[in-house]
Structure 1
Amino acid sequence: MYVSKTLVIGRCWRCGRKIFKYDDYYVCPKCHAIYCPTCAKKVFYKCPADGTPLEAK
């Protein structure tokens, strides 16, 4: 299945999964790292790089 590149926001910084525009994802407000819900849960909703709480998008 082809997915338009405009729908892909980026990849999860932890696992590399593609994050699409309408998916649930988490962002670190300080370093702007994107995390999928699974990885966000595994890191306890805090950015592994700087410890900032992740924001749901």
Structure 2
Amino acid sequence: MSPIELFGWMLSLLLMVSFIASLIFISREPRLFSKSEYDSPQNNNQNREQKGKQFY
């Protein structure tokens, strides 16, 4: 095998492995990376409820 063929096989193997890993990563259940992502929608909901209860 010439060096360019060997490089091509190694590159295609690397791309195939990374593609399979990305499919596995995407198919997993979504997870929150930080607690702030979970808290912010709840805080917005509470703020709307408080604004609705205010009298002008």
TM-score, L = length of structure 2: 0.24
State which structure, 1 or 2, has the greater radius of gyration over its C-alpha atoms.
Answer: 2
Structure with more of its chain in strand, by fraction: 1
Q: Which has the higher contact order (CA 8 A, sep 6+)?
A: 1
Structure with more of its chain in helix, by fraction: 2
TM-score, L = length of structure 1: 0.24
